[in-house]
Chains A and B, each alone.
Chain A
Amino acid sequence: GAGVSQSPRYKVAKRGQDVALRCDPISGHVSLFWYQQALGQGPEFLTYFQNEAQLDKSGLPSDRFFAERPEGSVSTLKIQRTQQEDSAVYLCASSLHVSGQGQPQHFGDGTRLSIL
């Protein structure tokens, strides 16, 4: 596609429910990143994929967060047993090559997750 596509754009869930957020990166992009952006803050790194391999998940805040990219294209971020502190905008970004040499990351519009 022309850009990074994320869905849904908005998601409201009750505390304790599981949610799944989808990211469709730019076609052919090898690297894929997930970030979490709390209200009034800058995005914070969650996890990184190189093709289908999850090479860095150091930013995932708890074991309730799980991400996958099984075919090296679309990625899903899953949050189990959601809590109010999970409320944030979740941003996905992709870059063309293996992460390195300062390649710009191209971002989607994000999914705004609200936990009631």
Chain B
Amino acid sequence: AQTVTQSQPEMSVQEAETVTLSCTYDTSESNYYLFWYKQPPSRQMILVIRQEAYKQQNATENRFSVNFQKAAKSFSLKISDSQLGDTAMYFCAFMKERGYGGATNKLIFGTGTLLAVQP
């Protein structure tokens, strides 16, 4: 079974600075997908960034980038130029690649990191 671990329950960063959120996972799969979702107090899960495991290049999305280390099973999120609106719970999530037999591509989430951006 796959597991996702986020070892930082809470983090704080000053506005305009850079912060890195950690995520590790455990799987025996060779092909899979990794995601970072943001959940503000409004509760809606918002996709931040997505990484395909078979791509070596790290995904980037504006101020958000990842450091994907497949051998170490590590998938950290870097937020540059932090903004007040980045304050939220951040979840790392794993998804198997749909293979023969059509396994459900459910998301497996970590326990989250609460990020507070201070003015």
Contacts and interface: CB of A to CB of B under 8 A. Distances in A.
Contacts of B83: none
Contact of B105 (A44, A59, A100, A110): A100
B106 A45 contact: yes
A93 B111 contact: no
B19 interface: no
A100 B98 contact: yes
B52 A105 contact: no
Interface residues of A, number: 31
Nearest to B35: A104
A49 to B, nearest CB: 10
B117 interface: no
B42 A45 contact: no
A91 interface: yes
Instruction: Classify chain B: how many residues form its interface, as a range.
Output: 20 to 34
Contacts of B95: 102
Interface string A11-50: 0000000000000000000010101000011111100100
A43 B105 contact: no
Contacts of A104: 35, 47, 50
A93 B106 CA distance: 10
Contacts, number: 72
B97 to A, nearest CB: 7
A42 B112 contact: yes
B108 A45 contact: yes
B107 A45 contact: yes
B106 A42 contact: no
A96 B108 CA distance: 19
A2 interface: no
B47 A42 contact: no
Nearest to B42: A109
B102 to A, nearest CB: 8
Contacts of B106: 33, 45, 48, 56, 59
B111 A41 contact: yes
Interface of A: 31, 33, 35, 40-45, 48, 55-56, 58-59, 89, 91, 93, 98-110, 112
The 8 residue pairs across chains A and B that have the minimum distance between CB atoms = A42-B109, A100-B98, A102-B33, A107-B45, A99-B105, A45-B106, A56-B104, A110-B43
